[in-house]
Amino acid sequence: MIYAIIITSISLLLSLRTSKNIFAPATIVSALWLFCILAYNLYPHNLFHLRIQFYTGISIWVGVFTLSSLLTQSIFQKANNTENPNLSLRNLYVFITLISFPYVMWHIFNILKEAGLLNNIFLNLRSAAMGSVKGLEEGTSKNYFAPLWLVAYVIELLHYRKKQRLWILITLLLINLTWAFLIMSKMTFLNIFVSTFIILFFYRKIKTKTILISLGAVFIFFTYFQILRSREMELKDNKLKYDFFTLYVLGGMPAFETVKPRSSNYSGENTFRFFNAVTYKTGLKSQKPSSPILEFVNVGKNNDVFTNTYTTLYPYFKDFGFKGIFFFAIFVGFFYGYLYKKALKKDNPMVIIYSIFFTALLTQFMNETTFTTLSFLIQIIILSHLPYWMNKKIIKKN
């Protein structure tokens, strides 16, 4: 434990001194894990004691991620897209959002109505999102319009200058919030909140203190949101069966202790699930991809706390062991360091992408979401660049 605290502390101080920004990737990651380690050892809970496997893994991850991201930030990168997005494409994003959202809403509620699942609506909405409802086997959360809705909102927020477009901004925000509520997804809510805060912070429209207070309010909201979406499972005698902070923030660490290194059925089974799914669907491979929903394991001393979150280390460690953690810490650190440096230089697509991807840094105590949600990330990258690329082409022609 001591060496893990030392490494995360040094990483945090090094990042703060170098980046001078609390939203730098290395600052967030090192501060997050220092907080989690201290909280696990100081906050009262009934979880198993952490052993050397977690402390070694997280020390490698934080140390290497910090060095990789800071090294990337030190390399000069010019901003390529500082101009405004193409207005026609920007309006097209809004138009598609306004047309597609009512259709998606109607489709989901129609299936729930036909299945007679409108009674316990919040629990059934979550079941539909997970693919447990007939007719929605792929899950409502696999809505290919959702990335467009989010990018359309963030673009409007980033380039909001005229009051005439205020109704568009508010409408897009409400659509995204309604969608998050419809699929009962904490991560989708967090994506909306965090991307909003990051955009406002980068353009100096909000202070750090306000963001920290807002994030505290978001955490309280998530506690009650969890009860709302699965009330029968979460409550007993009108009391929460477990401590929300313990289960969702701390629970992944002892769960990681149960993972055996290099125990996957085949190389890269968990880390490269996206590519495995593509090759399976195209018929290039007969091996089915692993399920994105992991098995629940007991992490409580009294056999009363179960979780299926294993921290961001899970796929790398399960597929490749400690070497996997080391290698992918370099890669992921480089990726986020690059995004952050470009965003700092007001490269607009990168500001959008970093604001949305930032959630993955904040939730490393739960799951890995850089590789496991690669399809979503690729869509965000393409949709964020397209309006600016289009405008640049038009400017060059003129």
Q: How far apart are CA 152 and CA 168, in angstroms?
A: 10
Residue 263, SS3? coil
What is the radius of gyration, based on Cα positions, of the chain?
Answer: 21
- Whether 324 is in a domain gets the answer no
Q: Where are the alpha helices (DSSP H) in 186-321?
A: 186-202, 208-229, 231-234, 244-245, 252-256, 273-281, 314-320
Please check whether residue 188 lies inside any domain of the structure. yes
In whole angstroms, what is the distance from residue 227 CA to residue 124 CA? Answer: 14
Distance CA 381, CA 383 (A): 6
CA angle 31, 296, 324 (to 5 degrees): 50
Residue 167's contacts (CB-CB under 8 Å, 6 or more residues apart) are: none
Tell whether 209 is covered by a domain: yes
The answer to whether residue 312 sits within a structural domain is: no
- E strand or H helix at 239, and its extent? strand 239-240
Return the biggest CA–CA distance within the chain.
71
Strand spans (E) along 45-122: none
Residue 92 inside a domain? The answer is yes
Q: At 43, phi and psi to the nearest 5?
A: -80, 135
Contacts of 163 (CB under 8 A, 6+ apart): none
SS3 of 240, please?
A: strand
Asked if residue 36 belongs to a domain, the reply is: no
Whether 78 maps to a domain, the answer reads no
How much is the pTM?
Answer: 0.87
The torsion defined by the Cα of 55, 58, 62 and 64, in degrees rounded to 10, comes to: 100
Determine the Cα angle at 50 with ends 16 and 323, to 5°: 65
How many residues are recorded in the chain?
A: 398
In this structure, what are the phi and psi dihedrals at residue 356, rounded to the nearest 5 degrees?
Answer: -80, -40
List phi, psi (to 5°) of 104.
Answer: -65, -45
Counted domains in the chain: 1
Residue 284 lies in a domain: no
pLDDT by residue, tens only, the chain of 398 residues: 888 999 999 999 999 999 888 889 999 999 999 999 999 999 888 898 998 999 999 999 999 999 999 999 988 676 666 678 889 999 999 999 999 999 888 877 777 676 665 565 555 565 555 555 554 545 445 678 999 999 999 999 998 887 888 999 999 999 999 888 877 777 888 899 889 988 988 776 776 677 677 767 766 666 555 555 544 444 444 444 556 778 888 999 999 999 999 998 888 888 988 888 888 888 777 788 887 778 889 988 888 788 888 999 999 999 999 999 999 999 999 999 999 999 988 889 999 999 999 999 988 998 888 888 888 899 999 999 999 988 877 766 65
Please, are residues 314 and 367 in contact by the beta-carbon 8 Å criterion? yes
* Residues β-bridged to residue 342: none
> Domain containing 225: what range?
87-229
